[in-house]
Structures are given as structure tokens and as C-alpha cells.
Amino acid sequence: MVDRNALIDDLEAIVGPSFVAWRPEDLLVYEYDGSIDRATPLAVVVPANVAQVSAIVRLCRRYEVPLVPRGAGTGLSGGAIALDESVQLVMTRFRRILSVDVENRTAVVEPGVVNADLSVHVAPSGLYYVPDPSSQKACTIGGNVAENAGGPHCLAYGVTTNHVLGMEVVLADGEATWLGGETRETPWYDLRGAFIGSEGMFGIVTKVAVRLLPLPEAVQTMVATFRSLDEATGAVSDIIGSGVVPAAIEMIDKVTIAAVEPFYHPGYPPDAEAVLLVEVDGMRETVEEEAAHVEAICRRSGASDFRSSDDPVRRAELWATRKGAIGAFGSLRPNYYLVDGVVPRTKLQETMRKISDLAAEMEILIANVFHAGDGNLHPCILFDEREPGAVEKTIAAGERILEMCVEAGGALSGEHGIGIEKQAYMGLMYNQDDLAAMEGLKVAFGAGDFFNPLKVFPTGRNLHGAAYRGAIRKTGTGDVV
């Protein structure tokens, strides 16, 4: 049994009493992330520098208490939830942009830097940081590294691993070391690549070296409205099949349209069943040619309404319904569960039909808002946790959707990670030898089960949703914490 009072005293000695949370009312805000899972940490500590992180790691090893790294808490698979009586190590004080090398188009930042803030910072130099999760105004670079986050523009430009050159990390022995570096090429094994997407199980990121890209000469954003999902998904395949690879192809369905209309007033036609958002960028002449090509395909596929602009203000308005969709769902139901699965683009139509049939079968409301260009689906199951059985039904529906994705030749996750949410389903894609080989990386990094325990790999325990239901029971239905 851990002497919690002694542990808290020792943590306070490292960072100061103001940066350790341990009272129940203070821990409430740390018991969840963007997923539907909840669990209360043993304590929360917020370090300010690498020396403090190293000291915390060594202290928790001495107490034999696991550590769970946490960024902004916007993750959607329960990755930042503190299971197994863990201490949560929060990196939000690490928020400095340490250096920008305009000539070599690189930057070194701390992990608590908000994703969108980096692009704002380097914009005067004509540069930007490409990975753009929908939560980019809140999520942090360190969290993006942990989950290998993507975003709308990953279709053409790739995800986080394609834009991170190296990281300084604190390993389980408390030592800080660099994986990769600040240059584009490093010799030997790509430990940087192995660490990215490891969901906080290998160590704590304390610095990140990223590559920057020049702002494109021209950008054209187009929105096409369709009377059926089949028409919209068909247009996606036709655009890619024609040889055009847009920077982004996003889609929202009828339920999402109903949610965003009162807030953003896009004025979509009343018979709209799906909206396709396509963006092309690059040299002006190329953008003009590709935009005309996309418009022709959309109209040939049955688009009933088509809007296009290269004006930054108007483009932001066109993006608003996609970027703000998740927040708007609150007007339909108080809770949502965002499923993150991937299917081959050629199976998009078939899978969307199956999801629609599932919603009717289970009598649930599903809103679809997703990265259509690479088949990364984000069905949002909308529900009210106060209704008896709603959480269980929602989790069961999510499982069915993930099974559909794997059966279609896809994957369990495109960008949100496995975390608690999908660990029980890893057997759908991997056998025991596969899982053992991957889990062996934790040993190779010297971490074992010290960092972020009970995540990603199947445990035989029903963790997903269990902590969530426990949190509801704490106060009773109708008075949810």
C-alpha cells in the first residue's frame, strides 16, 4: 500500500504545493479526457522543467507508483485517464517555443505548446506547422506526438510522424535523452518513429523538433452539397481516382448539418443529406486547374449546391461547420462517443450504409463527420448518460462499428489511438505473437508497465466504460459530475 501522504509531500518538495493536486474536488477535472471513460488519479503533479520531470519519475519509481503523462486532455480514446492508482503528470507548463530556424524550416518547442499557436507564431516568416487535428486550438504538440495525431490535411501531407524530426524524452530511469534530432536525417534505428504514437507508454516528451512548411501560394476551399450519402462518397472516390490529391476532403452528414445550422447558419439546401468539403493548395495555376476539376466531378456526381472561395475570411466560414461540428452536437444530445475507425476508400459507401442501418436497428442517433479522403471515419454516437442503459448501448454500437471497419479491410484507429477504448478489440487485427512483439517495445525502452499502465494491449478486464459508469454512480443519475 502506497503512503499517499508521504508521496504527496515528496511531490510538493519537487514542484511546490501549488502544482500538486490531491484533494477530491481538485482531482475531478483530471478524471476524464475527451473520451467517455473516467477514473480518478492518485494525485496530479505539474512540473515546469526537465529536471523536475526527471525527479518525479525517479520518485514514483521509488514508490512503485505508475505515471500517466497528460497534455491538454483532448484525447478521444482514454489515453490520459489515470488507471491503476497512478499519478498524473501534466505537461501544460511546458509551453515555450524555444527556437525557429527559418532557413532550415524547423522549430523546437516544448510539448505543452498548443498546436495552432505554433502556426500563428511562424506565419510572419511564411511558414506553418501542417498537422491540424480538429482540436488544434486546444490540443498540444506533446499529445499529438503521443497519439500520432492527424487532421483534415493529413490526406496530402501526412500525420504527426511525418513532421517531427526528433524529441527529447525522459525515460523510466529518469534520464533525459534525444530520439532523432533537429535535422531531417539521423543514422541508425528510427527510435523517434517508434516513440511517436506510443500513447505515453515509453516515456515523457519534454522537447519536440518539428519541420515547418512554406505557406502555399494559393488555397481554394470548396463545399459541395449532395442529396444522398452515396453521391457524396462516390464523388470522393472519383476525385482521388482522377489523380487529384487534395489537401483535404471532409464530409458531414444530415444529422451533423442539423446540429451546425442553428450555430453557423451555412444555409445548406433543406434536402441536403451530405456536405463535402474539399481543399486544394499549391501554386496558383495548379490550384485553379485542380479546383475546376473537383467542381466538375462534384457536379457530375450530383452536387445540388457548390460554393468555392480563395478568400481567407470566406474560407474560414466554409470550414466553420466542419471544425465546429463536435461542439454543436450538444444541441441534439448532452453526450457523444466519437468512434475512430478506418476503411479503404473503396469501401466507404458500403460502410456508411452499414452504419446507417446500425443506427436504425439499435434506435440510436449517429452523426457522421469525418476525413473522407483517407477513409478515416468518425461516427459520433449521440446519447444522454442519464437514460438507463444508454452508456452500455453506446459502447456496444461503437464495438459494432469497429468490427465493420476491420471486416472491410481497415483499421481500429486512424488518429485517436487505442487507449482504453479499443484495447479489447486489438485481437481483431493482431494475434498473440503480434501483440507480444509490440508490447516488447515497452521493455526495450525500459518502461515496463511504469508509464500509462493498462492501456492499448488487452488486459482481460472490461475497462472501457467501467470507470465512466462508476463516475455517474458517485452522484446519481441526473446529477452527473
pTM for the full predicted model? 0.92
Least Cα distance to 294 among 276, 311, 282, 318 occurs for 276
pLDDT at position 262 over 50: yes
pLDDT at 460: 77
Taking the C-alpha atoms of residue 53 and residue 90, their distance in angstroms, rounded to an integer, is 10
107 with 196, same domain: the answer is yes
Helix (H) or strand (E) holding 63: helix 50-63
| pLDDT digit string, tens, across residues 330-347 | 999 999 999 999 999 899
Domain ranges, residue 158: 97-214
Give me the chain's average pLDDT, please. 93
* Cα 129 off chain centre by: 16
Domain assignment present for residue 35? The answer is yes
> Could you tell me if 229 and 308 lie in one domain?
yes
User: Reading across the β-sheet that carries 176-180, which strands appear in turn?
Assistant: 97-101, 106-109, 204-211, 164-170, 176-180
Rg of the chain over all Cα atoms, to the nearest angstrom = 22
SS3 67: strand
pLDDT digits (tens, 9 = 90+) for 102-135: 999 999 999 999 999 999 999 999 999 999 998 9
Q: Give the domain-ending residue among 91, 126, 148.
A: 91
- Of the residues 269, 297, 328, which one is the last residue of a structural domain? 328
Which residues lie closer than 8 Å to 389 by C-beta, 6 or more apart? none
Domain boundary, last residue among 295, 328, 361: 328
Total domains, the chain: 4
Q: 63 is written with which cell numbers?
A: 514508490
CA angle, residues 154, 159, 163, in degrees to nearest 5 = 115
Q: Is 472 exposed, middle or buried (0-12, 13-18, 19+ CB in 10 A)?
A: middle
Tens of pLDDT, residue by residue over 399-428, are 999 999 999 999 999 999 999 999 999 999
Statement to judge: residues 279 and 374 lie in one domain: no
Do 271 and 323 sit in the same domain of this protein? yes
pLDDT digits (tens, 9 = 90+) for 192-226: 999 999 999 999 999 999 999 999 999 999 999 99
Shared domain for 210 and 256, answered yes or no, is no
Quote the percentage of the chain above a pLDDT of 70: 96
Domain contains 456: no
Judge residue 302's burial from the number of C-beta atoms within 10 Å of its C-beta, 0-12 exposed, 13-18 middle, 19 or more buried: middle
Whether the pLDDT of residue 473 is over 80: the answer is: no
Residue 425's domain is classified under what CATH number? 3.30.70.2740
Residues 223 and 324 in one domain: yes
User: Cell triple for residue 289?
Assistant: 486547374
